[in-house]
């Protein structure tokens, strides 16, 4: 038996409140003797309910106190009062108030447990929704990559590492029909915090800004070009450079169309 599941089932609370069947009570007591953690949990529940009962104890109504007081006084015949019956009555009343307090405590206990379970369910549902949405995004990205790669109008351009980083590489997918440019398969050194990689297209003999590289793990859609003779990637200051200025940083990879 999984003790944690047994504890979370609510059986121990029912046992402490006396609402279990005789066979269930015997089972709880047997398991508690065999497992100290179970007995410790029972003690904890008892202490919690007792503390709640004392903290939220309700004083008996004034009229009830007065009724009991009258029963404890002498009657008009000056008959001496015998404390036996009134004391029993008082004890019975006191016990009823304690049971009422314990009942309220039990309701609060179960309400809190239900509320906690409800919150856990909502959290799980929210997490599942996030996972589903994440899966849909991944699926959409994958389908986009497949569509780009399978398009007969897509031209693959390999960008090879330059002297600064011979092992660096990247791949350009350029659709000559739509002019869309995609960047993938990047293998570049990790950029310093104040630096960022930037793609360039060589058009009419001049480097043209083709977009900053925000991610190196997915197929990236860059700026579109109707014509280009080569592509290159440089390491620039955060925010990149402009077409007017051209690349300021070192060229890491480059390839011709």
H/E stretch holding 198: strand 195-203
| Per-residue pLDDT at 87 | 44
H/E stretch holding 203: strand 195-203
Architecture of domain 154-256: Sandwich (2.60)
Predicted confidence pLDDT, tens digits, the chain (257 residues):
677 778 777 788 778 877 788 888 898 898 889 888 889 888 888 777 666 555 555 555 555 555 555 655 544 444 544 444 444 444 455 555 556 666 666 666 666 666 666 666 666 667 667 766 766 766 666 676 667 667 888 898 999 999 999 999 999 999 988 999 999 889 999 999 999 999 999 999 999 999 999 887 778 899 999 899 999 999 999 999 999 999 999 999 999 99
Contact 257, 176 (CB under 8 A): no
Alpha helices in the chain (DSSP H): 3-8, 11-17, 22-34, 36-55, 62-72, 84-150
| Per-residue pLDDT at 194 | 93
What does the domain layout of the chain look like in residue ranges? 3-127, 154-256
Q: Which burial class, exposed, middle or buried, applies to 68 when counting CB atoms under 10 A from its CB (0-12, 13-18, 19+)?
A: middle
User: Which whole-number Å values give the CA distances from 167 to 30, 104, 195, 252, in the listed order?
Assistant: 69, 72, 19, 9
Verdict on whether the full-model pTM lies above 0.85? no
Q: Can you give the length of the chain in residues?
A: 257
């Amino acid at each position: 038996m999984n003790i944690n599941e047994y504890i979370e089932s609510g059986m121990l609370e029912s046992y402490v409140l006396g609402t279990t069947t005789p066979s269930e009570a015997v089972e709880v007591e047997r398991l508690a003797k065999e497992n100290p953690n179970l007995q410790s949990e029972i003690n904890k529940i008892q202490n919690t309910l007792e503390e709640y009962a004392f903290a939220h104890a309700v004083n008996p109504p004034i009229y009830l106190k007065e009724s009991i007081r009258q029963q404890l006084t002498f009657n008009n015949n000056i008959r001496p009062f015998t404390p036996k019956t009134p004391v029993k009555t008082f004890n019975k009343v006191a016990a009823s108030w304690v049971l009422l307090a314990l009942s309220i405590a039990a309701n609060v206990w179960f309400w809190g447990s239900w509320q906690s379970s409800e919150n856990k369910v909502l959290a799980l549902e929210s997490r599942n929704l996030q996972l589903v949405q994440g899966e849909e995004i991944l699926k959409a990205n994958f389908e986009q990559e497949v569509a780009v790669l399978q398009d007969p109008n897509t031209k693959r351009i390999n960008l090879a590492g330059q002297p600064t980083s011979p092992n660096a590489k990247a791949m350009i997918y350029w659709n000559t029909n739509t002019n869309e440019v995609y960047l993938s398969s990047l293998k570049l050194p990790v950029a310093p915090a104040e630096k960022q990689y930037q793609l360039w297209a060589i058009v009419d003999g001049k480097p043209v800004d083709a977009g900053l590289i925000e991610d190196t793990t997915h197929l990236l859609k860059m700026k579109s070009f109707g014509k280009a003779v080569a592509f290159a990637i440089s390491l620039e200051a955060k925010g990149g450079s402009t077409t007017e200025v051209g690349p300021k940083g070192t060229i890491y990879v480059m390839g011709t169309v």
